[in-house]
Amino acid sequence: MSKQEYLYQSLVFIRKKQENISKLISYWLRHNPAQAKLEADKFGWIELDALLQALSNKNISLSTDQLINLNRSFKKSRWEIERDVNRIRATHGHSFPVSLDDKIKIPPETLYHGTTTSVLTQVMQDGLLSMNRQFVHLSEDIETATTVAKRHGKPFIIEVDTDPLIKDGWSFYKTNDSVWLTNNIPAKYLFFAPWYRDNDEKGYYVKELKREIGNRKSHILYKHLDDLELVWNTGTCDDALFVNKKTSKYYVVHLTYTTEEQEIDGYPGINIYNSFENWIENGLWIDQQYYYDLDEREYITKYYVIKNKSKGFFKKIWQKLSKNIFSKI
């Protein structure tokens, strides 16, 4: 073994050992201080000396300086350490009740939660739940939320408008590493950009769809017009999501709103999805990639994507494809 290989393996070993120690400390501070015979106050603080002694009992020798340096070595601080008053606590992630009244702050107008497409249907129904943690975790920026989401699967970003929540009694707590904590958030406060729920109470969109299709029996939606219901809409273009109440199929329709008679057979253009989950994976997710400029996808051929720098979002313009007016997914 060369000297360089030896040094590399030594560094890997040291880093792995540090990570294991960090996980043990975080487990005690977040979930089970009693396992190490530690006592946490109502704010989650634990005596620093007691923690170091608990580590020593497991044959882990660590000084206060080394503990501070270990905390600084990670991308995000995992613990708050107040050396002058001899205490330490986890910045977030507690599964036992902790009062964070000393950390209540006014959050930015918009916060972000990173999740995965596999759980979106449940989130749209139940909202954001803390699950096995005490609080829901939110990020200040899209990049951080995306990084969190990628740990668990195909990432999706949920926007949270904080002003209505504050008015309705929610408190927000800010940790040292800019993670925001709050209680469970009902679905009505969430925005799944660039789409939003729309029940079309006055039936405007169904009427517009019927007008645009007119008497063209050759259009694929003609025989389904009386069974369609608008469920979602988008603020970045003229796409609308309809569901067929009889077949449970979903259709993204690009309405044209033209005052002229539709002469091109097939327009308004549509995409067909066999289920709501199918639309989430192959429609909503792709749209969000462009909306936030997260990823360029060459296989998306039904849209030209143009960045409007002055407004900071993506507009989707329907691409007329002579051989692919309908795209069945």
What's the DSSP call for residue 50? Answer: H
Q: Looking at residue 5, what is its pLDDT?
A: 64
**Cα separation values, 252 from 177, 198, 225, 279, 305, Å:** 40, 13, 14, 9, 17
Looking at the fold, whether 143 and 253 belong to one and the same domain comes out as: no
- Final residue in a domain of this structure, among 173, 191, 209: 191
Is residue 7 one of the residues assigned to a domain?
no
* Per-10-residue mean pLDDT, the chain, length 329: 63 73 90 89 87 90 87 80 86 78 84 95 94 87 91 92 94 82 94 92 92 88 95 88 96 84 69 96 93 60 35 35 32
Domain that holds residue 121: 101-191
Looking at the fold, whether 171 and 216 belong to one and the same domain comes out as: no
Is residue 8 one of the residues assigned to a domain?
no
Looking at the fold, whether 229 and 316 belong to one and the same domain comes out as: yes
Best CA proximity match to 267, nearest among 206, 211, 195, 198: 211
- Final residue in a domain of this structure, among 27, 62, 90: 90
Q: In the chain, what is the straight-line distance between the N-terminal and C-terminal CA atoms, in Å? A: 54
Q: Looking at residue 10, what is its pLDDT?
A: 63
CATH assignment of the domain containing 146:
3.20.170.30
- Final residue in a domain of this structure, among 30, 56, 90: 90
3-class DSSP state of 19: helix
Looking at the fold, whether 107 and 160 belong to one and the same domain comes out as: yes
Looking at the fold, whether 185 and 201 belong to one and the same domain comes out as: no
**What total number of domains does the chain contain?**
3
